[in-house]
Amino acid sequence: MKTRQFGFALLLCLLPAGVLAQGADKSVLLKPPADSWPTHHGDYSARRYSSLKTINDTNVQDLSLDWMARVTGGIPADQQGGRGGSGNVRVSGSPLLVGGVLYFTANDNAWAMDAHSGRVLWHYFRESTGEEPVTANKGMGMYGNWLYFITRDNFLVSLDATTGEQRWVLPVADPKQYYFSTMAPIVIGNHVIVGTGGDSLDLSGFLQSRDPETGEVQWTHYNTPREGEPGIETWPSEYAAAHGGGGAWVQGAYDPELNLYYYGTANPNPVYSPQSRKGADLYTSSIIAINPDTGKMAWYFQASPHDTHDWDAACDMVLIDGVIDGKPRKLLAHASRNGYFFVLDRTNGKSIVSAPFVDTLNWSKGLDQRGQPIPDPAKEPSLGGSLAWPNAGSATNWPPPSFSPLTGLFYVGTEEGYGVFYLSDTDDHPQGYGGIESALGTISGSIKALDYKTGKVVWRHVWPGGGGAVGMLSTAGNLLFVGNQNNLVAFNSTTGKILWHAGLLAAPNAPMTFMLDGRQHVLVAAGDTIYSFVLNQTAK
């Protein structure tokens, strides 16, 4: 482990008051103030909505760059000693903002950056074991003055937020078995929630809670059942279930009143080869509600029963306090990779809306009594190939959608893609990938604004040259900020009209916004660069 501190003692004297002076305590996490973004989505609801409106649909055209800062990963050149290396990195998630400091990660690196100027305060790098199956993670979690992130080779790292010094490093799962963990850890009470995924080998994904002080495992919840547990009847055997996949590699949402954490699980294994796992394959490709204190499941809803196309339900869960049939309801909205938009009662998992949000969906024969799709066996992978919409690239993916209480609209990046799915391993017990998919093409990629009460499209913006899943932020200023290709774009969130855009050096992640020194900032990470935008104060 190496930590590089950039004249840290001197910086303490030069930084504005408040920088590095506070952490993310329980009150900040439960009700984030306007000058913070203390968890991956800004708050526990995962709506990616801000009540700030200094920047709005009447003045967003005056938004201009305040600062940009580029970071370099690996061991610093003066400390390499023949190991590691420097080079460009990709920041794949939203930074945290607490006390005027940004905290973010890329690969096995972590940084603290002054949000006023983009000056790096400290940089941490951990050399991996060389067994890393993936190259990205979605960022950090924070508990008080402690930070948490997961490395490429599946270790959970805890750092001191003030100094960047390593507190401890502990394994989550064995990367030699091709486990990976890409989610940003979520802190709930005295729990640091992490999850695992893994497609290529026959694994069982799990969600896990760690003690924030010591890293000790508090509980582990496997996403496929074991012998004697409910759901085991949907698998041909206990062995098939125990090796059946269902990773938890995207961060979830949390309702403090119900004390329930909501997350989506990945596809079942073997992939593309359903003959060895006939049945619904619970609880893969499902939305799960879990008690974060005990690790016990409260309810589930399966978005893709018997998933044979590698779609999974590992996309964001968005909590909405809405109105259905004139009555207030606690809702969960989920645009799934299989092309369906679901709205559930988050107290019990009952379906309220199940509707396609792409025009070309063809794999389902309808809905069952729970509102779950009924797969069409004719669209399963076959020796001669089966044409299905959407393809494995999916109707959407992990970049986060947004929900605006101002408009009542759910915003999601979509793609109308299709592919032919082939069965290549006809053995009764295939392993890993038992088939392949040939992605033939895409008709269009667009942003769609959905009415959460019906799932109907209120407006759409079709991207020239294609699109797909993109990260989003909506605000009380009637704005929707979206990243697409190498641009950050602001839409009127009610009408879908483009109001402003800025060209960036790389494709951006989901934007975030906050108040700092009396000014509203819109901040986004793109590639190895952080950009901060504010209103041009000289504009008329």
The dihedral through the CA atoms of 147, 19, 474, 525 has a sign that is: negative
Task: Give, in order, the Cα–Cα distances in Å from 522 to each of 177, 396, 446, 508.
Answer: 40, 24, 23, 12
108, 199, 310, 528: the active-site residue:
310
Residue pair 204/158 in contact by the 8 Å Cβ criterion: no
Per-residue DSSP letter, 378 = G
Identity of the amino acid at 189: G
User: Can 57 be counted among the known catalytic residues?
Assistant: no
Q: Distance between CA atoms of 67 and 78, rounded to whole angstroms?
A: 27
Task: Give, in order, the Cα–Cα distances in Å from 495 to each of 58, 468, 491, 492.
Answer: 14, 20, 8, 6
Q: Distance between CA atoms of 475 and 477, rounded to whole angstroms?
A: 5
Q: Distance between CA atoms of 501 and 366, rounded to whole angstroms?
A: 40
Query: Mind spelling out the 3-state secondary structure of 209-236?
Result: EECCCCCCEEEEEECCCCCCCCCHHHCC
**Among 103, 95, 150, which Cα is nearest to 126's?**
150
Instruction: Give 155's strand partners.
Output: 171
Residue pair 150/170 in contact by the 8 Å Cβ criterion: no
Q: Distance between CA atoms of 38 and 506, rounded to whole angstroms?
A: 25
Cβ burial 117-133 (10 Å sphere, 16+ → b, else e): ebebbbbbbbebeeeeb
Number of helices (H), then strands (E), belonging to the chain: the values are 3, 37
The residues carrying an active-site annotation are: 310
